[in-house]
Amino acid sequence: MSGWLQSAAKVFGRGGPDPTPEPVPYDVACRCGHHIEGERLARFQTVPCPRCGELLFVLPNDVYPRPKPKKLKSSTPVRPASPFIDSEKSPQAPSPGATTRTDEPLPPTEADVASWADEDTPRAPRRPRPDFDAVDQPGAQSAPEKTVSKPVEPVPWGRPTETFDERMVRWRGGMTEGLRQFRRQLTPVRILTATILIAVLVTGWSVQRAKAREQAEIMLRTRAEVVNELIAARDLVGLEAELNDQTAAAELLARDDDHVARLAALFRETMAINRLAPGSLFSLISEANKAADGSDIEWERQFELSYRGKWVILDSPLVRGADAAGIDHLTLDVPLTIGGKPLRVEADLDAFEQIEAGAAPYLFAAQLDLMRPPTVDDPAFVLVLAPESGFLWHRPETLAFIGWEETDPDAQAALTARLDSQVSLGTSPTRRVLLAIAKKGLPKRPPRVRPETSSEGAGR
C-alpha cells in the first residue's frame, strides 16, 4: 500500500506521503436543518445530531495526495505602444509595485501590425479620415459615402443552370442520403415491432377468414331447404335476400357445383323479376309512338325516369343484320311496327357472344338501355338492351312468378329440357356485377345527335 501511495505521489509531483496531513473540516447538514461541523478522521464517522439525534455519516480523509499548485507568473509583460496610437493617450508602463488589469485589451504590437500586412485575406477598406478644415468652413458639407455594387449579369432565358452530369450527381447524392436516412430509421427495435405487428395482422386475418369459411359451409349445408320454402311461398323479396347470402357464401368457398349453379341462376332471375319494367313492351312502343312528334330530349328524359334500367323477359329468335349506318347487330326477329314504322330491338348482349343466330328461339332477360326515335338516316324505332346485364333463363320454377306455368306434363317437360339446353350456352353476369348495376345503375352512354330532318321526312 505504501509503495502504491509513493508511486501516486511521484506522479503528482510529490516525493512521498505527507507525514503530517492538514486537517480537513466537514460541514454536514441534517434533515432537520441543523449543520454539524468538525474535522475528518482517517476512518469514517457517525456523528449524532444534537437537535434531533439522527446519526449522520461523515466520509474520511482523502487518501490520495493533493497535487501541487501551479506556479503563477510573477509579472505580466507589457506590450510596447503602437505607432498608430497617440503617445499622449498611450498607457504608461506600470511601476514594479502596481497591479495591471487583465480585462482591458492591450494595444497591438509592431509584430501584430506586420502579421496583418502579410495576411492574404482582403480586409475592408479603411474609413477615410474626416477633413476637419473643410468641416470648419461655413456652408461646407461632407460628401456622403457611396456604395458601389457589382452589376449582376442576367441569365439568358432557357440556359440551364447545371449540366446533365451535375444533375445526375446531385440526384445520386440525394438518393444516397435518403437511403442513409432510411437505414438509420431501421433500428432493431422498430424492425422487431413491425414484424410483430405484421404477424398479428396476418394471424387475425387468417383466423377471421377461417371463421367466415366455416360459417359459409354451415349456411350452405343447413339452409338448403329455406330456398324451396321461399319459392313455394312466392316471397320474392325474402328469396332474393336469402339467395344473395348463399351465393356470397359459395363465392367465398370458390364452389362451382350444380347446387351453387342453381343458386346463382335463381338469384339472377329473382333480381330480374323484382325489377321488371312497369309495363309491357307494347305499352313502351305506344308511348314512343306518341312522343315521336315531340322533342327527343323530352322523350329521353321520360325514358330515363320510367324505363331505363328496368328488366324485360323476351322469348324470340335472333338474327344478325346491319343498321342504316352499316354496323352489324344481333336483333330480335319480331315483325313489330309503330305507326307504320318498324321496331328494331338490338340485343348485342355479352351473354350472346357464343350464340349463333338462327330459327331457334331463346328465352332471356336484359335491362332496357335506350329507345331512339326514327331519323332521316334510320327510319326505324330502335330499342337497345344493356349488353352487360343480359343472361339466358335457366330455372323453370321462377317462370311461375310471372304467370308462365305449363299444366300439361309433356309441355312442362319440354320447357324444362329447353331451359336445360340453354345452361351450356353463353355466359351470365356474376352476382357482384348485378349488385353493382342495381346499386349504381347502368353506365351513361354517349349522347346521340339526331340529324336534321328534311321537309319530306318532317311530315309524318
For 214-235, write each residue's pLDDT tens digit.
998 998 888 888 998 998 898 9
Report the pLDDT value the prediction gives residue 147, as an integer from 0 to 100: 45
Report the pLDDT value the prediction gives residue 88, as an integer from 0 to 100: 46
Q: How far apart are CA 309 and CA 386, in angstroms?
A: 8
The residues near 1 (Cβ < 8 Å, ≥ 6 apart) are: none
Q: Which of 347, 269, 298, 311 is nearest to 442 (CA)?
A: 311
Q: Which of 348, 330, 347, 343 is nearest to 382 (CA)?
A: 343
Q: Which of 333, 329, 359 is nearest to 347 (CA)?
A: 329
Give the number of other CB atoms < 10 A from CB of residue 304: 13
What global pTM score does this model have? 0.55
Report the pLDDT value the prediction gives residue 270, as an integer from 0 to 100: 93
For 414-438, write each residue's pLDDT tens digit.
888 988 888 888 788 888 888 888 8
The DSSP bridge partners found for residue 318 are 332, 358
Amino acid at 444: K
- Cβ atoms of 373 and 334 within 8 Å: the answer is no
Q: What is the DSSP letter of 267?
A: H
Report the pLDDT value the prediction gives residue 123, as an integer from 0 to 100: 52
Interhelix angle 188-222/236-253, rounded to 10 degrees, is 130
Q: Which residues of the chain have pLDDT under 70?
A: 1-21, 71-161, 292-296, 359, 445-460
Report the pLDDT value the prediction gives residue 296, as an integer from 0 to 100: 63
Q: Is 210 exposed, middle or buried (0-12, 13-18, 19+ CB in 10 A)?
A: exposed
> At 298, is the secondary structure helix, strand, or coil?
helix
Report the pLDDT value the prediction gives residue 269, as an integer from 0 to 100: 92
CB-facing half-sphere around the CA of 250: CA atoms within 13 A: 25
CA R_g for the chain: 53
Pull the grid cell for residue 436: 353493382
Q: What are the domain boundaries of the chain?
A: 20-68, 195-272, 278-449
Pull the grid cell for residue 18: 505527507
